[in-house]
């Protein structure tokens, strides 16, 4: 797991492939907790994924099931990295000038896409039988 052995690869002027081992959660928070944190985060991610799979199987709309599956799959992907490597491999880097978004991976993208679809669906889909007004 030596990130120094990987040199960043500029794909475009705003996108590079990098190698960052994230021991924490989003943006590296809680990354200094050692082995206990590693296993707690892995167990938590597997538990969340299991709950999402149960919820996914109860979805009546295909897009909701797909979105929930994306989030569950992303959680499992990051948990697998954490279990096998002790950290999550983040390798996509989006940047503009001196500004750079924290590195992320495919699993993070799946979680983000799944949650975005669920939020959009909740906000934009009219609910039948819903009362409007006081």
Q: Is the pTM of this model over 0.85?
A: no
The catalytic residue among 2, 10, 93, 108 is: 108
Domain span including residue 40: 3-23+35-123
Counted residue by residue, the chain has a size of 134
63 three-state secondary structure: helix
Residue 29 placed within a domain? no
Q: Tell me how many domains the chain contains.
A: 1
**Residues 75-116 pLDDT 10s:** 999 999 999 999 999 999 999 989 999 999 999 999 999 999
121 part of the active site: no
**Residues 68-85 pLDDT 10s:** 999 999 999 999 999 999
Residue 94 placed within a domain? yes
Distance CA 110, CA 129 (A): 32
Residue 40 placed within a domain? yes
Residue 129 placed within a domain? no
The catalytic residue among 10, 90, 93, 121 is: 90
**Torsion angle, alpha carbons of 28, 29, 35, 37, to 10:** -140
pLDDT beyond 70 at 133: no
Whole-number average pLDDT of the chain: 88
């Amino acid at each position: 797991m030596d990130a120094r052995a990987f040199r960043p690869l500029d794909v475009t002027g705003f996108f590079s492939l990098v190698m960052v081992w994230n021991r924490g959660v989003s943006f590296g928070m809680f990354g200094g907790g050692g082995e206990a944190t590693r296993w707690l985060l892995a167990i938590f991610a597997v538990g969340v994924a299991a709950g999402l799979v149960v919820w996914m199987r109860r979805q009546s709309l295909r897009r909701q099931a797909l979105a929930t599956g994306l989030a569950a799959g992303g959680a499992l992907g990051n948990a697998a990295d954490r279990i096998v490597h002790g950290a999550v491999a983040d390798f996509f880097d989006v940047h503009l000038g001196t500004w750079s978004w924290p590195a992320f991976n495919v699993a993070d993208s799946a979680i983000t896409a799944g949650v975005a679809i669920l939020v959009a669906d909740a906000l934009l889909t009219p609910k039948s039988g819903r009362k409007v007004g006081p």
